[in-house]
């Protein structure tokens, strides 16, 4: 029986590139000749004219479905929005800028057929600036610690069996993180090395603030280990303060002439601030972040809001 592929592509500032990605998918499917397919394009509140491009494609091709979100909810929320409309046996997530080569999808599917539930594309060489490469490496190292899985590699280009994405969309909280949702569903994960392409046009939509927000969301959404880290940092700061206190005592006993230079009481106050202030502020800030997220989730802040759907090949999901 012919397998069906669902391609989910979040679109943001990709008016000039999404068409090339669609054509690459068509070329790959026609070349393989053994798959039915659908392409789900999710407009994540893009400020350019990408939604007009998506609507044009849906009018010409029954394999394409367009989903327009009411505002920018972020890449991970947009991908989950697309998962609600999938009808395929295998679900492929990829980017809208052409850096994730759709022509390499057969390699991922071949690895998936070996029995894996999810297969990620790994890149031997990233065509990104040094900051983005450092950020990706940092995120991978942190994922090893947070999720307790050595060598776990997440990325925006992967293929999953349908039951995995069906389970992922059951997550209703407003801080989704795809890597954590995959691990919450399965640990049967494979990897395939592929070539990372250059961007077809434009620049990445991730700046320093968005990258930090994404990292922090991933680290706090599915683990309390950041609280453990804050405790270790607090102990470290307290240790520094304790050592500094010893230095003050030694200096007072053995180098009394320095007391005439350094104002009386300043050193001891600094040590106390390091000990108490470091412990309190770090832990209060992190606990406040957890409590704030709980509060927002209790108030049912939406993961995404769908403004419009265009295309006839897929019935609208009950969101």
On whether residue 318 sits in a domain, the answer given is: no
Separation CA 104–CA 108 (nearest Å):
7
- The two tokens of residue 179 are 């890597």
Instruction: Decide which of 283 and 94 is more confident.
Output: 94
Question: What stretches of the chain adopt beta strand conformation (E)?
Answer: 3-11, 35-43, 64-69, 90-93, 118-123, 158-161, 189-194, 306-310
d(CA 192, CA 112): 10
Please, what is the end-to-end C-alpha distance for the chain in angstroms? 30
Rounded to whole angstroms, the Cα distance separating 102 from 8 reads 12
Instruction: Output the domain CATH number for residue 37.
Output: 3.90.550.10
In degrees and rounded to multiples of 5, residue 110 shows phi and psi of -65, -40
Phi, then psi, of 193 in degrees rounded to 5: -85, 130
And the tokens for 276?
């108490």
Whether residue 88 sits in one domain with residue 8: yes
Whether 124 and 13 map to the same domain: the answer is yes
When pLDDT is averaged across residues 265-277 and rounded to a whole number, the result is 71
> CA-to-CA distance for 101 and 84, rounded, in angstroms?
24
Residues 236 and 102 in one domain: no
Task: Please tell me whether residues 195 and 243 are part of one structural domain.
Answer: no
pLDDT for residue 189 = 92
- Of the two residues 297 and 23, the one the predictor is more confident about is 23
- Please report whether residue 319 resides in a domain: no
Q: Is the pLDDT of residue 142 over 80?
A: no
230/141 same-domain check: no
Cβ pair 38, 89 in contact under 8 A: no
Clarify whether residues 87 and 115 are in a common domain: yes
Residue 315 lies in a domain: no
Say if 316 falls within a structural domain: no
CA nearest 95: which of 179, 157, 160, 22?
A: 157
The residue among 280 and 205 whose pLDDT is bigger is 280
Instruction: Judge whether 156 and 96 are in contact, CB under 8 Å.
Output: no
Same domain, 166 and 251: no
Predicted local distance difference test score (pLDDT) of residue 18: 92
Report residue 249's pLDDT band, with 50, 70 and 90 as the boundaries: confident
Structural domain contains residue 133:
yes
Distances (CA, A) of 271 to 64, 233, 237, 241, 285: 64, 16, 10, 5, 21
pLDDT band with cut points at 50, 70 and 90 for residue 314: very low
Residue at 142 is within a domain: yes
Asked whether residue 43 carries a pLDDT value surpassing 60, the answer given is yes
At residue 150, the pLDDT reads 63
Half-sphere CA count of 290, side-chain side, radius 13 A: 14
Tell me what pLDDT residue 244 has: 76
Does a structural domain hold residue 137?
yes
Same domain, 43 and 121: yes
Give me the chain's average pLDDT, please. Answer: 80
* 170 and 253 both lie in a single domain: no
pLDDT of residue 318: 44
Per the structure, the complete domain to which residue 261 belongs is given by 225-298
Residue 62 pLDDT grade (very low, low, confident, very high; cuts 50, 70, 90):
very high
Q: How many domains does the chain have?
A: 2
In a domain, 317, yes or no: no
Q: Are residues 30 and 64 in the same domain?
A: yes
pLDDT band of residue 83 (cuts 50, 70, 90) is: very high
Q: What is the per-residue pLDDT across 132-141, written as a single tens digit (0 to 9) for each?
A: 556 556 666 6
Residues 159-218 have pLDDT tens digits of: 999 999 999 999 888 888 888 889 889 989 999 988 765 555 545 555 555 556 656 666
Higher pLDDT, 54 or 2: 54
Q: Are 147 and 42 within one domain?
A: yes
Q: Taking residues 64-86, what's their average pLDDT? A: 94
Whether 157 and 272 map to the same domain: the answer is no
């Amino acid at each position: 029986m012919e397998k069906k592929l669902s391609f989910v592509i979040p679109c943001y500032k990709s008016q000039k590139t999404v068409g090339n990605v669609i054509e690459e998918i068509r070329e790959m499917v026609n070349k393989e000749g053994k798959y039915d397919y659908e392409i789900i394009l999710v407009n994540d509140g893009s400020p350019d004219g990408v939604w007009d491009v998506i609507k044009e494609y849906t009018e010409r091709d029954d394999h394409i479905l367009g989903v327009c979100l009411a505002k920018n909810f972020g890449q991970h929320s947009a991908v989950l929005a697309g998962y609600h409309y999938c009808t395929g046996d295998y679900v492929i997530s990829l980017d809208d800028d052409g850096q994730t080569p759709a022509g390499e999808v057969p390699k991922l599917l071949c690895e998936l057929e070996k029995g894996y539930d999810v297969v990620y594309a790994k890149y031997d060489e990233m065509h990104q600036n040094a900051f983005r490469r450092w950020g990706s490496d940092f995120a991978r190292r942190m994922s090893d610690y947070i999720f307790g899985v050595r060598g776990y590699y997440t990325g925006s280009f992967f293929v999953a069996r349908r039951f995995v994405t069906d389970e992922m969309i059951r997550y209703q909280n407003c801080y989704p993180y795809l890597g954590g949702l995959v691990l919450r569903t399965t640990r049967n994960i494979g990897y395939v090395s592929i070539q990372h392409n250059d961007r077809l046009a434009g620049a990445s939509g991730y700046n320093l603030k968005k990258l930090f927000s994404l990292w922090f969301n991933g680290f706090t959404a599915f683990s309390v280990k950041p609280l453990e880290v804050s405790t270790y940092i607090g102990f470290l700061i307290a240790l520094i303060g304790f050592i500094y206190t010893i230095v003050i005592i030694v200096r007072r006993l053995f180098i009394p002439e320095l007391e005439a230079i350094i104002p009386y009481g300043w050193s001891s106050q600094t040590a106390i601030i390091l000990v108490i202030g470091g412990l309190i502020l770090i832990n209060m800030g992190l606990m406040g972040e957890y409590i704030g997220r709980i509060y927002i989730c209790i108030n049912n802040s939406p993961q995404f809001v769908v403004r419009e759907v265009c295309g006839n090949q897929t019935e609208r999901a009950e969101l």
